[in-house]
Structure 1
Amino acid sequence: MGKNYTKNDIRRIAKEENVEFIHLQFTDIMGVMKNVSITIEQLDKALNNEIMFDGSSIDGFVRIEESDMYLYPDPNTFEIFPWGSPNQKEARIICDVYKSDGKPFCGCPRNVLKNVLKEAEEMGFTMNVGPECEFFLFNTNEKGEPSLDTHDNAAYFDLAPVDLGGNARKDMITALKKMGFKIEASHHEVAPGQHEIDFEYDNALTTADNIMTFKMAVRIIAQRHGLHATFMPKPKFGISGSGMHINMSLATLDGQNAFYDPSNDMQLSETAYYYLGGIIKHAKGYTAITNPTINSYKRLVPGYEAPILIAWSANNRSPLVRVPSKKGNSTRLELRSPDPSANPYLALAATLKAGLDGIKNKIEPPTPVMSNVYIMDDEELLEKGIENLPLNLYDALKELEKDAVIKDGLGDHVYNRFRDAVLLEWSEYSKFISQWELDRYLRKF
């Protein structure tokens, strides 16, 4: 995307393009996008970081007595929405959240990622990320409420006429391109109603912004087609869930791929191996962040291509981390566990922190797994020292509590608020009686 806007550029473009409303966007700790909407007359005030909001009204931000927060817009994220009326255009700018004393707010996920990226930069690296974001398109009823009925019965890579969501997906791609996205691939996924749109890799901060923008655009365009787009990890029993694979690499500050080394079999550099070592070592610790909902763990089960075991491989898709075959400037690691309910800023901060710890402490990765880990029995897994990812959100939180490195990457404020939110969610879930339990036990006992 690589824009380099000044404040004057934004003023000029907004005037030329008849922009009437501007949405100042930021993200809460659980990854929900928030908006403070202003009219064009308030644009100068916004660009001078003078727009404030009540932080105590945002989940997990602050207490009432410290509630005044300021929005600092990032000019490079200025984007005009390609939908809406030509005479009254709407635009957005993504903002960092600051406190009233002019310091960055430690509970702002974008600031959390910036801090870990600064740590990487001090070690001589930048992080590049290419996400693969899956989602479902479901029909809506006459009230516009989502159902679990899909609009198609297409399968992986199917084309129209069976893939009725194809038109919606085409419009999504058109809208995203107008907003500066470079789309690499788009296809129907394994399950009915499931789609994937991949966009070009970029630096980690831009990619996290792009994931938030992508989710918003997909939902809005789906709605215009009478469909409901959901990034819920596993909306239906018995079919594949939606993942958000993260393809990541480090580059040196002069732009060279730091993971590539043509001198060995795998063509991976020592930096890449140590980074991988960190990703494997801290896998249990960051899972609560990359898979932050109760529902996330319904996807991480055997039989549906989602990883459940902490292992890596170059030649099969079953383990947690895969090393794709393309090398040179494309050398990267693909982390396959994250799902699209994750807060992208925190997910990238946590995984980068894990990888940097690997580099700092020269953590060697385990031996790669060449066979399909799905078909290994417990004895073989034990012998190879291959462990499971946490089985549920509560277990994942317990693992995060034990991982000082990942907690340090998040910072105390985000960690504590995240933990509180997860414990509340777990407590609600634990009390709920599901249809499965009624079907199973009502007549039996």
Structure 2
Amino acid sequence: MICQTEEDVKRIVKEKNISFIQFWFTDVLGVLKSFAVTPSELEEGLSEGMGFDGSSIEGFARIQESDMIAKPDVTTFQLVPWRSGDRPVARMFCDVMNPDGTPYEGDPRYVLKRLLKKVAEKGYTFYVGPELEYFYFRNNCGTECLDTGGYFDSRPIDMGSDLRRETIFALQDMGIQVEYSHHEVAPSQHEIDLRYDEGLRMADKTMTYRLVVKEVARKNGFYATFMPKPIFGQNGSGMHVHQSLFKGERNAFYDPSDRYNLSDVAKHYIAGIMRHAPEITVVTNQWVNSYKRLVPGYEAPVYVAWARRNRSAMIRVPMYKPGKEAATRIEFRSPDPSCNPYLAFAVMLGAGLEGIENKYEMPDPIEEDIFEMNPAERKAHGITDLPGNLYAATLEAEKSSLVKKVLGEHVFNKFIENKKIEWDMYRTHVSAFELERYLAKL
């Protein structure tokens, strides 16, 4: 369903007898927020936006300046598959505005749009293709798996294939193109890969994808989670982010004369992400639990390095296939699927642009298994570590001029403040592990 104008939206709402139109946006942490309007209020919502209380949204306004406007982006209009029938429901993503109609600087979607505008002024289009992993459990009260499958297992071991199939159909109904899906390494862990798209559209699609996965699971009596590390001793869920820059129809990352088929633009971009990776990690891995995944031994990259085929490196450059110049890209492997995609894509892009603008030099690739190296060997190769916990990552971001520039002062301050609060709650919490280990002996 393709809409380009307000008239397109109003026509479809009438033709399809739509009962409600949901207005979607996210808070600073990437939690989806929504409210619904009836068709009778749609015209006002399209032309002026709908007001709401921003002081009740995480990372938005203070109570004395709480009035906000949600202005829908008509190009994101789609029917919601789990609210079909005779009176279907539709949704549109919104830009959050100040009452005077100016963009609200606390809106994560605006953070990404602002940077994409800067990229466009340089002649580039930013393309992204994330791979989001997730788990199916019996319910949201525990981690009882639906199967004991592993990587690429099929039925009857893979008991989530029907859920994935239904999810893919729902995504396609919403105009989201899927490339493939499969069972992942851990029991009851799955992945559905979306075809790459322009950065803002892909951030919208990522938010939609997460909700569709959860709604299809719920409808079938199960629970889906994008929690990075829900099961001790098993692989966590990552979000490997494929990305590239195009100039018109030309892939700016491709150079046929280079031994890696990478242009100088691509090399500087990779170097930018590598140099600034510790600073942006709190945005791409934003929860206490994120750092239970970022440990050696479970395929999650914890070391700052790049490679062609080595999946222990933080950045991988998929091998070039003749005639596939447009597919030249990098794969950033440390982010996890619970992040705010608008902010995560923005800091990745911002770090890459910093490398391009300052002509950072890309180091040599590391094709050995970094997990097998000892500290002295890693040091000899110039390999550094990502932050080991949320507090360390927050401190790295707090002193980063790049992160502050990309996020803007408002989002930057609110995000850092939230992460400090989360860490303080975590470090003072007495866990079951501590009680079991210490109570009877100390």
- What TM-score range do you get, normalising by the shorter chain? over 0.9
CA distance in structure 1 between the aligned counterparts of 2:216 and 2:199, rounded to whole angstroms: 25
Secondary structure at the counterpart of residue 22 of structure 2: strand
**Displacement after TM superposition at 1:85 (Å):** 4.1
CA distance in structure 2 between the aligned counterparts of 1:50 and 1:397, rounded to whole angstroms: 35
Q: Are 1:229 and 2:224 an aligned pair?
A: yes
- 1:70-107 per-residue CA deviation (whole Å, 9 max, x = no partner) reads 11111110000122241110000000000012110000
Secondary structure at the counterpart of residue 92 of structure 1: strand
CA distance in structure 2 between the aligned counterparts of 1:255 and 1:415, rounded to whole angstroms: 34
Aligned to 1:131: 130
Aligned to 1:164: 159
| Aligned residue type for 1:198 | D
**Displacement after TM superposition at 1:184 (Å):** 0.3
Aligned to 2:90: 91
Written as runs of structure 1 = structure 2, the 5 A alignment for 1:330-345 is 330-345=327-342
Measured at CA, do residues 182 and 50 of structure 1 come closer, stay the same or move farther in structure 2, by a change above 3 Å?
closer
Aligned to 1:201: 196
Aligned to 1:406: 403
**Displacement after TM superposition at 1:147 (Å):** 2.3
Question: Contact conserved, 2:403 with 2:412, CA < 8 A, in 1?
Answer: no
Aligned to 2:215: 220
- 1:104-156 per-residue CA deviation (whole Å, 9 max, x = no partner) reads 0000000000111111112221100001000000002xxxx432101111111
Matching residue within 327, 335, 345 for 1:348? 345
- After superposition, the CA RMSD in angstroms is 1.1
**Displacement after TM superposition at 1:439 (Å):** 2.1
Question: Contact conserved, 1:146 with 1:227, CA < 8 A, in 2?
Answer: no
Aligned to 2:301: 307
**Displacement after TM superposition at 1:4 (Å):** 5.0
| Aligned residue type for 1:381 | R
Written as runs of structure 1 = structure 2, the 5 A alignment for 1:313-328 is 313-327=307-321, 328=325
**Displacement after TM superposition at 1:382 (Å):** 1.1
Aligned to 2:37: 38
Matching residue within 166, 170, 175 for 1:175? 170
TM-score, normalisation: structure 2? 0.98
| Aligned residue type for 1:287 | T
Aligned to 1:373: 370
Aligned to 2:99: 100
**Displacement after TM superposition at 1:16 (Å):** 1.0
Q: Are 1:396 and 2:393 an aligned pair?
A: yes
Question: Contact conserved, 1:323 with 1:332, CA < 8 A, in 2?
Answer: yes
Question: Contact conserved, 2:230 with 2:236, CA < 8 A, in 1?
Answer: yes
Question: Contact conserved, 2:152 with 2:182, CA < 8 A, in 1?
Answer: yes
Measured at CA, do residues 231 and 381 of structure 1 come closer, stay the same or move farther in structure 2, by a change above 3 Å?
same
Secondary structure at the counterpart of residue 33 of structure 2: strand
**Displacement after TM superposition at 1:315 (Å):** 1.8
- 1:250-304 per-residue CA deviation (whole Å, 9 max, x = no partner) reads 001x221100000011000000000011000100010000000000000000110
Matching residue within 404, 412, 416 for 2:413? 416
Aligned to 1:19: 18
Question: Contact conserved, 1:49 with 1:73, CA < 8 A, in 2?
Answer: no
**Displacement after TM superposition at 1:42 (Å):** 1.0
**Displacement after TM superposition at 1:427 (Å):** 0.8
Structure 1, 26-35 or 115-124: larger mean CA deviation: 115-124
Secondary structure at the counterpart of residue 146 of structure 1: coil
Question: Contact conserved, 1:146 with 1:228, CA < 8 A, in 2?
Answer: no
| Aligned residue type for 2:25 | F
Aligned to 2:249: 255
Aligned to 2:118: 119
Q: Are 1:297 and 2:291 an aligned pair?
A: yes
**Displacement after TM superposition at 1:41 (Å):** 1.1
Question: Contact conserved, 1:97 with 1:108, CA < 8 A, in 2?
Answer: yes
| Aligned residue type for 2:335 | P
| Aligned residue type for 2:377 | E
TM-score, normalisation: structure 1? 0.97
**Displacement after TM superposition at 1:436 (Å):** 1.4
Aligned to 1:65: 64
Secondary structure at the counterpart of residue 19 of structure 1: coil
Unaligned runs of 5+ in 2: none
Unaligned runs of 5+ in 1: none
**Displacement after TM superposition at 1:434 (Å):** 0.9
CA distance in structure 1 between the aligned counterparts of 2:249 and 2:69, rounded to whole angstroms: 34
CA distance in structure 2 between the aligned counterparts of 1:326 and 1:192, rounded to whole angstroms: 32
Secondary structure at the counterpart of residue 316 of structure 1: coil
CA distance in structure 1 between the aligned counterparts of 2:92 and 2:101, rounded to whole angstroms: 19
Q: Are 1:383 and 2:380 an aligned pair?
A: yes
Matching residue within 234, 244, 247 for 1:239? 234
Structure 1, 412-421 or 42-51: larger mean CA deviation: 42-51
Aligned to 1:270: 264
Question: Contact conserved, 2:3 with 2:9, CA < 8 A, in 1?
Answer: no
Question: Contact conserved, 2:127 with 2:245, CA < 8 A, in 1?
Answer: yes
**Displacement after TM superposition at 1:443 (Å):** 2.8
- 1:152-207 per-residue CA deviation (whole Å, 9 max, x = no partner) reads 11111111122221111111011111111111010000001100000100000000
Structure 1, 364-373 or 72-81: larger mean CA deviation: 364-373
Matching residue within 184, 188, 199 for 1:189? 184
CA distance in structure 1 between the aligned counterparts of 2:252 and 2:3, rounded to whole angstroms: 25
